[in-house]
Structure 1
Amino acid sequence: MLFRNCAGGIVFNGDSVFILQNEKHEWVLPKGVIRNGAHASEVALKRVLEEGGINAKIIAPAGETSYEFYSYSRQQPVCNKITWFVMDTDQTDYRVNCEEGFLDGGFYPIQEAIEKITYSQDKSLVRVAYRKIAKILEMEKGA
C-alpha cells in the first residue's frame, strides 16, 4: 500500500465555507500531497490558493482524517492521511481551478455545504471547524 501525507484547509468567510466539486462529481475540501519536506500548513495554504484562488490565513489546527482507495493508475491501494487547518478569509471571490479537474465550487452557507459534501468525515470536519472558528473569533472580539 502507498501511504501519502496530505494537508488541506477548511476555509470560512463568515458563515460560509469553501468547497469544490471534483471530476468524480464529489464535493470536497481543498487538499494536496505534502512533498519535498514541506510543512503541512504551507501545503494547505498553497492548495487553497491553487484550487480556489483564495488567500486565507490559518486560525487553528482542525485535526486529521484518513481514507483508503484503490489507484488504478498506480495499480495499488493508497492511504491518504490529511492534516487539516481551520482557515479564515475576508475574500468573497474565488476561482475554481478547472485545470486541476474541478468542475464547480464556491462559498456555501454551512448547512448547505454540509448537505453537498460527499464524505461523512468531511461533513463532521466542517461542523467541528465551524464551532472552533466561531469560538476563536468570539474570544478575539472580547479581548
Structure 2
Amino acid sequence: MFITIEDIIYYGRHNKDEYEGSYWWFDLHDYKIYSIDQLRSLFPDEIFTTEVNLLMKDIIPLFKTEIIEVEKVYIQQKNDKKMSEAFCKVSDDKFDQFFKKYIDEHLLLNDWWNFERKILISDCIEWCKSNRIRCRFKQR
C-alpha cells in the first residue's frame, strides 16, 4: 500500500491560529486521512477522542507545516528590500492575510505556490520516512 504525495500535501498546511491540536490524522492500517471530527464519529463509544487513544489504534497525526513560517521564509529568500519593508510592521495576527494580498497584488502567486509546494512535499516525505509510510508521486 502507498500514499500519493500529491493527494496529501495540502492537508499538511497548518495555521496555528486556526486549530491548536492535530486536526488531520492518518490511519496506518487503511492509509486514509481522517479529520478529528470524522474520528470522533467513528468512535462514538468513547467520551472524547484523545491522542493517546488514537495512537493506540495506529492512527497518527498527519504532518503539519506552519504556513505563516513558510511565508516568512519565502519573504526572506526573495531578498527584496521593498517586500521586507512592507512586512516588517505587520502584526502576527494580520500576517497571513497581508501576505496573501501582497503576493496577489505583486503577481507572485505562481512563484509562491511553487515555493510552498516544495516545502510541503519535503515535509510530507520526511514525515513518511519517520513513520515508515510508503509514499510515491503520482505517475503521469
TM-score normalised to the size of structure 2? 0.29
Answer 1 or 2: which has greater helix percent: 2
Higher Cα Rg: structure 1 or 2? 2
* Larger relative contact order (Cα-Cα within 8 Å, sequence gap ≥ 6): 2
TM-score normalised to the size of structure 1? 0.28
Answer 1 or 2: which has greater strand percent: 1
